[in-house]
Chains A and B, each alone.
Chain A
Amino acid sequence: MVRVLIALRRTIVRNQLARTNPAMLLIGAGLVLLSALGTIWLGLVSYPSQAAATDVLALVFLLWAGGRVAQSALAGDAVLRPELFSLLPLDRRRLARSLLVVGLLDPAGVFMAIAFAALVARAARLGAAATAVAVLAVILSLALASVLSTIAGAALGPGSRRGHDVGTIVTAVALSVVAVAATLLPALDTALRRGTVPWLADALTWLPTGWGPVAVQAAARGDWLAVFGSLAGLAVLTVAAADWWPAVLSRRMDAAARPAHAGGGRPGWWSALPRTPAGAVTAKEIRMWVRDPIRLTCLLIAVIVGAAVCAIPRLTGGTYLLLPYGGILTAVIAGACACNLYGSDGTSLWLTVMTPDSSRADVHGRQAAWLIVVAPYTVAITVAFTALSGEHAAWPWALAVLPAVLGGAAGLAPFSSLISVQPLDETGGPTPAYSLKVHIALVVVALTALVPVAVLVAAHVWHEPWLSWAGVPVGLATGAGLTAYLGRRAVSGLENRQVRILRVLADAER
Chain B
Amino acid sequence: MTAARPTPGPGLGPVAGEQGAPALRIAGLAKSFGDTAAVSDVELTVSSGSFLGLVGPNGAGKTTLLSMAIGLLRPDRGTAFVLGHDVWSKAGSATAKQLIGALPDGLALPHRLTGTELLTYIGLLRAMPEEVVRDRAAELLDVLDLAHAGRTLIADYSTGMRKKIGLASALLHGPRVLVLDEPFEAVDPVSAAVVRAILDGFIAAGGTVVMSTHVMTLVEQVCDHVAVMAHGQILRTGTLSAVRGGQTLEAAFAELVGAAPARGLSWFAS
Residues of A in contact with B (beta carbons under 8 Å apart): 161, 257-262, 265, 275-277, 279-281, 283-284, 287-288, 291-292, 345-348, 350-358, 361-362, 499-500, 502-503, 506, 509-510
Contacts and interface: CB of A to CB of B under 8 A. Distances in A.
A502 to B, nearest CB: 6
Contact of A284 (B117, B151, B153, B156): B117
Contacts of A500: 74
Nearest to B112: A291
Contacts of A261: 151-153
Given A277-B125, A503-B74, 8 more contacts: A258-B156, A260-B155, A287-B112, A352-B125, A353-B72, A354-B100, A354-B102, A355-B97
Contacts of B169: 351
B110 A262 contact: no
Contacts of B73: 499, 502-503
Interface in B145-181: 149, 151-153, 155-156, 169
Nearest to A273: B124
Given A161-B155, A262-B114, A283-B121, A356 B108 contact: no
Nearest to B102: A354
A307 to B, nearest CB: 27
Interface in B60-81: 70-74
Contacts of B106: 347, 506, 509-510
A356 B112 CA distance: 23
Contacts of A509: 106, 108
Contacts of A287: 112-113, 117
Kindly name the residue among B70, B93, B95, B110 whose own CB sees the greatest number of chain A CB atoms within 10 A: B110
A348 B74 contact: no
B94 interface: yes
Contacts of B153: 161, 259-262, 291
Given A354-B71, A354-B100, A503-B73, A262 B124 contact: no
Contacts of A291: 112, 153
Q: Describe A's contact surface by its main secondary structure.
A: helix
Contacts of A257: 156
B156 A260 contact: yes
Interface string B76-113: 00000000000000000111011010101011111111
Contacts of A356: 93-95, 97-98, 126
24 contacts: A161-B155, A262-B117, A276-B124, A284-B110, A284-B113, A287-B112, A348-B108, A348-B110, A350-B107, A351-B110, A351-B125, A353-B71, A354-B71, A355-B97, A356-B93, A357-B94, A358-B125, A358-B126, A361-B125, A499-B71, A499-B73, A502-B73, A503-B73, A510-B106
Contact of B156 (A161, A281, A351): A161
A320 to B, nearest CB: 40
B109 to A, nearest CB: 6
A280 B125 contact: yes
A284 B121 contact: yes
A288 B112 contact: yes
A231 to B, nearest CB: 46
B265 interface: no
B108 A279 contact: no
A257 B152 CA distance: 13
A350 B118 CA distance: 13
B151 A281 contact: no
- Which of A283, A284, A500 has the most C-beta atoms of chain B within 10 angstroms of its own C-beta? A284
A114 B234 CA distance: 60
Contacts of A361: 125
B260 interface: no
Contacts of B123: 280
A257 B74 CA distance: 37
B120 interface: yes
Contacts of A351: 109-110, 122, 125, 169
B262 interface: no
Nearest to A262: B114
Closest 8 A-B residue pairs measured CB to CB?
A280-B124, A356-B94, A259-B156, A291-B112, A347-B107, A275-B130, A347-B108, A350-B107
B8 to A, nearest CB: 19
Contacts of A259: 149, 152-153, 156
A510 B67 CA distance: 15
A168 to B, nearest CB: 13
Given A259-B152, A260-B155, A351-B122, A502 B72 contact: yes
Contacts of B107: 347-348, 350, 502, 506
B175 to A, nearest CB: 10
B190 interface: no
Contact of A277 (B112, B124, B151, B155): B124
Nearest to B130: A275
A164 to B, nearest CB: 10
B61 to A, nearest CB: 15
A67 B208 CA distance: 56
A72 B114 CA distance: 29
A265 B152 CA distance: 11
A280 B110 contact: no
A279 to B, nearest CB: 7
